[in-house]
Amino acid sequence: MRFALDVAPLRNQAFRRIFVARTVAIFGIGFVMVAVPLQVFSLTGSTVAVALVSTVVGAAALGGTLLGGMLADRGDRRKLILGARATAAVAFAVLAGNALLPEPQLWLIYLCGVAEGVANGVSGSALMAATPSIVPRDKLAASGALMAVMSDLGSVAAPALGGLLVSATGFWGNYALCALAGTLTVTLLGRLPPLPPPQTAAKESLPQAVRAVAGYVRRDRVVGPTLLAGLAAGLLSGWNVLLPAFGQEVLGVRPDALGLLYAAPAAGALLGSLTSGWTGTADRLGALCTGALAVSGAGLVVVGVTGHLAVAVAGLVCFGAGRVVGDVMRYTIVQEYTPDQYRGRLAGLWSAQISVAVSLGAVAAGGLSALVPAGVVFPVYGALGVAGALLLALLLPTLRRLRRSARPADVGAEPGVA
């Protein structure tokens, strides 16, 4: 069995351009995620203002994913991606110019944040919809793992580098580098081949398109349950809400040691991605999907069973590894089983359910922490995740029995085929 990360998709020139462009974009987004809250706080001295701008950008990104999914099924996906990334580059340039003003304007920061959030959402949905037309079906899992590696690296390195950049050059330097990165992204993606929409795109009105994808998800016995499994996985994303009280009251660690706990899931996810070569040939996709969720939950159970820092770190590494394997499995199922006429809208739903689930997970974790002591909150939270995985396996037999080897030649031709 192959464990090393499968880099074969990078031999495809079009995918290689997408991969490099996406990597550059991830770092640019990470830089801005640090600079915008810091600048808003420096201008207002208000934590409420910082929370508001983060909320506004998050809401814009959520709306962008849904909008991008709709547009990706109705127009040229290449043009859509280029337009979105060019919009983000302009927003970064405006932020840089605003930062050089004697009195930077807060409303401009909010406006650019909205533009950038929408652009990120639109381009993300369109890129996901376009990938199966570029990457061979048997390499979709490998392409998902490669994207996961860069996403995990970017989530760790980009904020740290962004903070250093603000310290070295000020806010304008951070934003200016992001604008340059955005320009590079547009240049790379501009060399992609045309990515036309499905032939059915012109036949549907907007309301019909919405009803069609909603009906497809409701009827389909593979993609719909896979999205439900993704929602369940997202509900475990509230682990970081529990760490401050757990670290202080149970582990008795200082903030520097607490940083190890925050970084551990990303380290586990990176480890899972780098050893994901086997996912490209794995047969029991559905069982692996729910099994990965159970592994993530079990990792959170381990975090709180002994009260020792090393064990807690190991548990969070296990959680992160399970999470990324589940992400790759669900990504593979959705990409392989979704008909082309629904790919854009499904990509939008995919991103939207992740955002919603993460928010719900934070609320669930916060509510649970108010009901149970800090010493047992992680085992209880993780056990609920394991129970959720078992429940999905019992209630969704089609997903549980899903095998890649049993996939019909054109499973995506009709909704509901599984």
> Do 210-406 and 8-197 fall under one CATH topology?
yes
Q: Where are the domains of the chain?
A: 8-197, 210-406
Read off the pLDDT of residues 60-119 as tens digits, 9 standing for 90 and up.
Answer: 988 999 899 999 998 899 999 999 999 999 999 999 999 999 999 999 999 999 999 999
Residue 414 is predicted with a pLDDT of 40
Q: Which residue numbers in the chain have pLDDT < 70?
A: 1-2, 200-204, 255-256, 407-418
Residue 333 is predicted with a pLDDT of 94
Residue 418 is predicted with a pLDDT of 36
Residue 412 is predicted with a pLDDT of 43
Residue 328 is predicted with a pLDDT of 93
Residue 228 is predicted with a pLDDT of 92
Fold category of 210-406 in CATH: Growth Hormone; Chain: A; (1.20.1250)
Residue 353 is predicted with a pLDDT of 86
What do you get for the CA distance between the two ends of the chain, in Å? 27
Residue 2 is predicted with a pLDDT of 67
Residue 293 is predicted with a pLDDT of 96
Residue 260 is predicted with a pLDDT of 82
CATH number for the segment(s) 8-197: 1.20.1250.20
